[in-house]
């Protein structure tokens, strides 16, 4: 079965600094990969997803992620952090032939003024 | 328009009670899910329903039972609530395509507190 590991349960950056949230996956078949964001006391919101095609995926709010098969990674980045980016971020993987989606444990992003 | 909705948003109840959480989606999706998010924010899939058939059932206690009256609804019924059931429960839905799975859309979550 597929699985996801998010490195770092808590990441802190300064406003304007680069955001890098790490995600590695394990899958026996080509994966579908997702990043979700959860703001305090709110539900999950899809940031971006990779299914097939271009490996660099652009999402909402200036985030992007690159699928690297050789590294089994799908790290999330944003060139310049905003205070409003403070939230919990979840990486998830599913396989093309089933509905089972596996989530990472989440990374809490803190943005300092 | 809300795509995936859950009711109630908050639920506080006593240990031993039976409660239900409702989920509805207006996306025309054929698969719906329930996830449990624990205090450490870790999400774990509990159930998924596809065309009224349970296709995934993780090691969830049988006190939890999903009920799907139609494709647009997947309710979660919990018997004999325990303290450890306190968590946020998320409903989600997706469409199964010939080439694979479409993105899952999540509801806002139901915050359950068992006292």
Give me the phi and psi of B84, to 5 degrees please: -70, -10
> The dihedral of CA A77, A98, A28, B92: what is its sign?
positive
**Inter-chain touch A44–B106, beta carbons under 8 Å:** yes
- Whether residue A26 is predicted with pLDDT greater than 80 in this model: the reply is yes
**Inter-chain touch A43–B108, beta carbons under 8 Å:** yes
Give the pLDDT score at A105: 84
- Whether residue B16 is predicted with pLDDT greater than 80 in this model: the reply is yes
Which residue shows structure tokens 């494709």?
A: B71
Give the pLDDT score at B102: 64
Longest pairwise C-alpha distance within chain A: 44
Give the pLDDT score at A77: 97
**Interval A77-100: pLDDT, tens:** 999 999 999 999 999 988 765 556
Q: What is the mean pLDDT of residues B83-93?
A: 92
Q: What is the mean pLDDT of residues B15-38?
A: 92
Give the pLDDT score at B80: 96
Interface test with A, best of B50, B57, B100, B102 (most A CBs within 10 A): B100
Q: What's the DSSP call for residue A11? A: E
- Residue of chain A minimizing CA distance to B38: A105
Distance between the two ends of chain A, CA-based, in angstroms?
Answer: 41
Q: What's the DSSP call for residue B39? A: T
Question: Sorting pLDDT into bands at 50, 70 and 90, what band is B48?
Answer: confident
What is the distance in angstroms between the Cα of A10 and the nearest Cα belonging to chain B? 12
């Amino acid at each position: 079965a597929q699985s996801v590991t998010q490195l770092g349960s808590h990441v802190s950056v300064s406003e304007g600094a680069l955001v890098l949230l790490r995600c590695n996956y394990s899958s026996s078949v080509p994966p579908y990969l997702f990043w979700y964001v959860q703001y305090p006391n709110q539900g999950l919101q899809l940031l971006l997803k990779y299914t097939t095609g271009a490996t660099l995926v652009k999402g909402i709010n200036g985030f992007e992620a690159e699928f690297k098969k050789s590294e089994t990674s799908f790290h999330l980045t944003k060139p310049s952090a905003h205070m409003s980016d403070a939230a919990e971020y979840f990486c998830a993987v599913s396989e093309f032939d089933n509905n089972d989606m596996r989530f990472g444990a989440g990374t809490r992003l803190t943005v300092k003024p | 328009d809300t795509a995936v909705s859950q009711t109630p948003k908050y639920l506080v109840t006593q240990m031993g009670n039976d409660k239900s959480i409702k989920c509805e989606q207006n996306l025309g999706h054929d698969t719906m899910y329930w996830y449990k998010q624990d205090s450490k924010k870790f999400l774990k899939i509990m159930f998924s329903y596809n065309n009224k058939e349970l296709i995934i059932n993780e090691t969830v206690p049988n006190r939890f039972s999903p009920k799907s009256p139609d494709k647009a609804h997947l309710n979660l019924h919990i018997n004999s609530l325990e303290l450890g059931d306190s968590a946020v429960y998320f409903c989600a839905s997706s469409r199964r395509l010939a080439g694979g799975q479409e993105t899952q859309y999540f509801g806002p979550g139901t915050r359950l507190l068992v006292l």
